Structure 1
Amino acid sequence: MKKMIIFEPAMCCSTGVCGPGVDRQLLRVSTVINNLKNNGILVERYNLSGNPQMFVDNKTINKILNDEGVDVLPVTMVDDVVVKTKKYPTDEEFASLLDVPVSSLKSVIKKPSIKKSSTGCGCDGGCC
């Protein structure tokens, strides 16, 4: 199984729902990563403000940051190779990079089934 790590810029949370507005891109990435996790695929995320030591310890990320600065973030690595910088992977890129179907990235919300009575509308004493 492939190993994906995303090194993110400094931020207060990874979900995109904190602060005055919702960051749709962060919300999408959080949802995709959560759905991957539910399908047994782990994607690691490191935030510069929350996990600075990971940025120091990873020689590739450390060099990229020293050469290009924090504007290069987010950086996505798969199996220790940088595959994308400055933007998060699209859904299609997540699927391709991890060799998984795009359907494994989506939430499946089952609609409740409503059983209709075979006679009438189901209300006592006739129709409502």
Structure 2
Amino acid sequence: MTQIKIYEGTSSCATGQMESGLVADLARISMATRTLNQREDVQLVRYDLMQDGSQFICDQRVADLIAAKGGAALPITMVDNEIVKQGRYPTTPELTRYCDGTSVTL
């Protein structure tokens, strides 16, 4: 089973507003989470810094990245316990690649 973990920061900026690109990314990742978790061969888990803070220190690599780069490191994507992307959400083609090339239809 392919396991994908996405460690996310806060979803809004200091003013309480989100950039339109971030809104689109969050919507796409939410849909991908629902779609992929219906499959038997993939599990996608998202961790929110505010709600799941302990998960960010459970993996030393994630903690080290955040210590080195701060919030710019987020989101961090891990696939099968390896960091594969940081600073941006994975694209749909990247999600497809992470799922052994099986098409991800969103």
Q: Give the TM-score of the pair, scaled to structure 1.
A: 0.70
**Aligned partners of 2:88 and 2:17: how far apart in 1?**
22
Aligned to 2:34: 34
Where in structure 1 do 4 or more consecutive aligned residues deviate above 2 Å?
A: 19-22
Q: Is the 8 A contact 1:11 1:49 kept in 2?
A: no
Q: How many residues align?
A: 99
- Structure with bigger strand share is 2
**Aligned partners of 2:102 and 2:39: how far apart in 1?**
11
Instruction: Look up the equivalent residue of 1:47 and give its one-letter code.
Output: D
Aligned to 2:85: 84
SS at match of 1:101: coil
Q: Give the TM-score of the pair, scaled to structure 2.
A: 0.83
Aligned to 1:96: 97
Counterparts of residues 1-128 of structure 1 (less than 5 Å): 1-11=1-11, 23-40=23-40, 41-102=42-103, 104-106=104-106
Q: Is the 8 A contact 1:77 1:84 kept in 2?
A: yes
Q: Is the 8 A contact 2:37 2:43 kept in 1?
A: yes
- Structure with bigger helix share is 2
What's the offset of the Cα at 1:46? 0.2
Q: Is the 8 A contact 2:2 2:43 kept in 1?
A: no
The alignment's C-alpha RMSD in Å is 1.8
Q: Among all aligned residue pairs of Structure 1 and Structure 2, give the percentage whose two residues are the same amino acid.
A: 26
Gaps of 5+ in 1: 13-18, 107-128
**Aligned partners of 1:92 and 1:42: how far apart in 2?**
17
**Aligned partners of 1:86 and 1:98: how far apart in 2?**
20
Instruction: Look up the equivalent residue of 1:50 and give its one-letter code.
Output: Q
Instruction: Look up the equivalent residue of 1:92 and give its one-letter code.
Output: P
Report the structure number with the largest CA radius of gyration.
Answer: 1
